[in-house]
Structure formats: C-alpha cells, structure tokens
C-alpha cells in the first residue's frame, strides 16, 4: 500500500548533506509563488547579495544554479572552455578527476598535475605545467577536496595562474561557509559550491560566481556553449533582469527559499564566526578521535576542519558494517572512502549545522560503543 514517506531522523556527519536546521525546513514549506513574481524577484536580489558576502566578492555575476554542485562545476567549464583550449587540471582526489572529465567533454585538452591523495596541490608542479604549456588559459583545482579532507592554497595557485595570463577556476563545494575563502582578495575568476555542505541547506542548488575577466572571456566566445541550460548568456537574462526578468527555466522556488534562509543564518552568525566554529569543533573531534586510536589521513596543516578523513583501523575487517551499525543503532551517518581510498577511510563531516558540540559528543560516543563491540578498543 502506498503511503506518505516519513524519513528517519538521522544525524548527518558524512561528506554531505549536512544537518538542515528546522528554520530552513520551515522556510521551504512557505507558500509557493511564481518564479517571475515581483516578490520572488526581490528575494532573488537578497539571495545574490548574501552569496556575494559568503564568497567575499563584489562579482555581479553571482547566483545559484538551479541544480546540485556538479551542475555548478559544469556551468563553469561549459562557459569558460572552448574546443581546443588547454587547461591545467590539478588532481589530488575524486573531484579533480571530475574537473578533467568536464574539460574533455567541452572539447578542451586537460593537462593534468597529479598530487597524492590526501596531499594538497603542489604549487611548484603547477608552475612547471605552465612553463611547459604556454598556451594554457585556465587553471582548475579543488580548494577543499571532499574525498580526502585536504585543503590546497587557493591564493597561491590563483597568483600562479594570473602570472601566466590564465584564469583560475575553483571548486569550493565543501569550503564555502566552512573555512577561509576570499574570492576577490585571492583573485578567483570562477567558483562553484553546493547548498548541502557548510551552508546546511538541502542539496539541489549550486552557488557560482564569475569575475569581470571571466565574464569578458565568456562574452568573447567563438563557439556556442555546449549546454543550453547552463549557458550564462541565456541564464543571466533571468537572474540579472532587474525588474524585467526573461523566462529561462522554472526556478526551484521553495528550494531558493531554503538557500535564502540558510544564507541569512550565516549572515547573522557572521562569516568569520562560522569559520571559527568549524575550526573549534574540529579540534574537539580530533581530541576524541585520537583518544579512540584513530589516525588522520591528512597532515595537520592541510586538514579541513569540516571534513575529517581518518584511516580505518587495521584491527577491524569490515568498515561498512560499522558504518551500518552507526546508522541503525545510533541514527548517525558518517561517510566511506571514495576512489583510491574506498574501504580505507571514514569521512566524518562537521559541516554547517552539523558542526556542534552535541554532534561531536554523539559521534564519539557512538564510535566508542560500536568499535568496542567490534573489539577495536
């Protein structure tokens, strides 16, 4: 018999989504209005302003793509890469690999800079790649690699790109709202994120921002953008219509309410206070995990406070069974490893509303309970 779906009440401490505050859920339950309604247009302007604050940018071309973070990634590549372009792509985890895939699907040539999984992007290798490939016009890298929990030096990498007359494209899906991120000060030309990580909004929207230099390159394209839906020359007639918005697609109205509310909560907390909260909760979790004998994968200077990758103990045989028990017994979700780290690590998220003392206490208590029964401690 078909009936309404009632989800279990979980604590989300995996790689995303994060816990969604009741305030955001209530915002999403407000009455739906038309996506061309003047009242909705006013909300859109506030949403864009708060996104600019979150990204720390004055970029006018800043808005949420009506799809998850992967579509934000594709928006950046589809609009900035033309057939024949040479792009340096830094890979130190799963999501750098997805950047390479995007470059190739747009008809570009990906020049790969490989780094070890769990290590940050090495600026000297990027310098060498530019020196060996003088036609490169775009550098792409992941600021906060969700698959490994490592942070790369975005400011240094952007400086290298600009020294070689290239633009810098940055994946900030896991960093926006969780760690220091300064789009204008660091010279980031194109950036994308997701609603479901440190913003603690349900998945489904992807904030993006483009510098004036990136906007000029897009306007000067010699070929059509390969995606109609993600073509900024079309989309922005809706987002920048200023009272005369042109229909492009039916925006996810209630999802936008949720993102607006989550950004308002970030604004009320203060961006730098949010960064500090994530760092404080990481230290609290770190102390407890080390007491349990768990070891971090990433060296301390490069660790993400909001995504903690810990090595699966040798004394255990089946990490999936422990995660399953955490979910079934404690209603706690943590993440598995991806790609080269599959079966080797746990990824414990402290993102947005999930970065709280109560969640840290629950996670440590649950791990202690389950690991003890699996004879790990």
- CA–CA separation, 247 vs 238, rounded Å? 6
pLDDT the model gives residue 245:
84
**Could you report the per-residue pLDDT of 92-145, keeping only the tens digit for each?**
999 999 999 999 999 999 999 999 999 999 999 999 999 999 999 999 999 999
Q: Does 181 share its domain with 55?
A: yes
Could you tell me where the beta strands, DSSP code E, fall in the chain?
11-12, 61-65, 86-91, 109-114, 138-142, 144-145, 150-151, 167-171, 190-192, 206-210, 295-296, 307-311, 332-333, 335-336, 345-349
pTM: 0.97
Both tokens of residue 268? 């009320």
- Mean pLDDT of the residues in the chain: 96
Q: Which whole number is the average pLDDT over 285-292?
A: 97
Both tokens of residue 91? 């890979």
Residue ending a domain, choose from 267, 294, 319: 267
Residue ending a domain, choose from 222, 250, 267: 267
Q: Does 225 share its domain with 302?
A: no
Whether omega before 17 lies within 30 degrees of 0, making that bond cis, reads yes
- CA–CA separation, 239 vs 254, rounded Å? 16
Q: Does 184 share its domain with 93?
A: yes
Residue 2 included in any domain: no
Residue 33 included in any domain: yes
Q: Does 94 share its domain with 167?
A: yes
| pLDDT band (50, 70, 90) for residue 243 | low
Q: Which whole number is the average pLDDT over 258-281?
A: 98
pLDDT the model gives residue 324:
95
Q: Does 137 share its domain with 155?
A: yes
Residue 3 included in any domain: no
**241, pLDDT greater than 80:** no
Residue 278 included in any domain: yes
Residue 5 included in any domain: no
**Could you report the per-residue pLDDT of 10-65, keeping only the tens digit for each?**
999 999 999 999 999 999 999 999 999 999 999 999 999 999 999 999 999 999 99
Residue 154 included in any domain: yes
Q: Does 261 share its domain with 304?
A: no
* Residue 81 belongs to domain spanning: 22-267
Task: Give, in degrees to the nearest 5, the angle at Cα 324 between 319 and 327.
Answer: 130
- CA–CA separation, 57 vs 35, rounded Å? 26
**377, pLDDT greater than 60:** no
Among 57, 64, 98, 104, CA closest to 81: 104
Q: Say if residues 76 and 87 touch (Cβ distance below 8 Å).
A: no
pLDDT the model gives residue 373:
83
pLDDT the model gives residue 242:
60
pLDDT the model gives residue 318:
86
Number of domains in the chain: 2
CATH number for the domain that contains residue 146 = 3.40.640.10
pLDDT the model gives residue 315:
79
Q: Does 284 share its domain with 341?
A: yes
For residue 225, the Cα-to-chain-centroid distance in whole angstroms is 24
> Which of 276-290, 308-322, 349-363 has the weakest average pLDDT?
308-322
Q: Does 155 share its domain with 94?
A: yes
Q: Does 112 share its domain with 198?
A: yes
Residue 73 included in any domain: yes
Q: Does 160 share its domain with 183?
A: yes
Q: Does 311 share its domain with 236?
A: no
Residue 79 included in any domain: yes
**3-state secondary structure at position 191:** strand
**Could you report the per-residue pLDDT of 168-186, keeping only the tens digit for each?**
999 999 999 999 999 999 9
CATH number for the domain that contains residue 361 = 3.90.1150.10
More confident residue, 316 or 289: 289
29 burial class (0-12, 13-18, 19+ CB within 10 angstroms)? exposed
Ordered DSSP codes for 121-163? --HHHHHHHHHH-TT--EEEEESEETTTTEE--HHHHHHHHHH
Within 188-270, residue ranges assigned H as helices are: 212-219, 232-239, 253-269
**224, pLDDT greater than 90:** yes
**Those residues with Cβ within 8 angstroms of residue 6's Cβ, 6 or more apart along the chain or in another chain:** none
Q: Does 199 share its domain with 326?
A: no
Residue ending a domain, choose from 244, 267, 290: 267
């Amino acid at each position: 018999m078909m009936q309404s779906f009632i989800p279990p009440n979980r604590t989300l401490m995996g790689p995303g989504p994060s816990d969604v505050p009741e305030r955001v859920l209530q915002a999403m339950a407000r009455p739906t209005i038309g996506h061309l309604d003047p009242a909705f247009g006013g909300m859109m302007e506030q949403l864009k302003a708060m996104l600019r604050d979150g990204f720390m940018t004055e970029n006018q071309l800043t808005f949420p793509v009506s799809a998850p973070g992967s579509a934000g990634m594709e928006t950046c590549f589809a609009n900035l890469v033309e057939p024949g372009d040479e792009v340096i792509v830094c890979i130190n985890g799963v999501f750098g690999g997805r950047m390479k895939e995007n470059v190739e699907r747009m008809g570009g040539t990906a020049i790969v800079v490989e780094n070890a999984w769990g290590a940050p992007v090495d600026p000297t290798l990027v310098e060498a790649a530019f020196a060996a490939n003088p036609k490169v016009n775009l550098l792409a890298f992941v600021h906060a690699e969700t698959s490994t929990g490592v942070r790369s030096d975005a400011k240094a990498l952007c400086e290298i790109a600009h020294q070689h007359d290239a633009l810098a494209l940055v994946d900030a899906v896991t960093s926006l709202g969780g760690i220091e991120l300064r789009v204008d000060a660091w010279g980031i030309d194109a950036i994308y994120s997701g609603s479901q990580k440190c913003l603690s909004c349900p998945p489904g929207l992807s904030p993006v921002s483009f510098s004036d230099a990136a906007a000029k390159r897009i306007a000067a394209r010699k070929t059509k953008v390969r995606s109609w839906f993600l073509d900024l020359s079309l989309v922005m007639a809706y987002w920048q219509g200023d009272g005369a918005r042109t229909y492009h697609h039916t925006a996810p109205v209630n999802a936008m309410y949720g993102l607006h509310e989550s950004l308002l909560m970030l604004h009320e907390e203060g961006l730098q206070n949010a960064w500090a909260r994530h760092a404080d909760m990481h230290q609290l979790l770190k102390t407890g995990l080390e007491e349990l004998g768990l070891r971090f994968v990433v060296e301390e200077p490069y660790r993400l406070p909001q995504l903690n990758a810990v090595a699966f103990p040798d004394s255990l045989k089946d990490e999936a069974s422990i995660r399953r028990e955490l979910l079934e017994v404690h209603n706690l979700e943590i993440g598995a490893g991806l790609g080269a780290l599959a079966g080797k690590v746990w990824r414990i998220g402290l993102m947005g509303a999930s970065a709280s003392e109560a969640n840290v206490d629950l996670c440590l208590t649950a791990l202690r309970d389950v690991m003890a029964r699996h004879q790990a401690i």
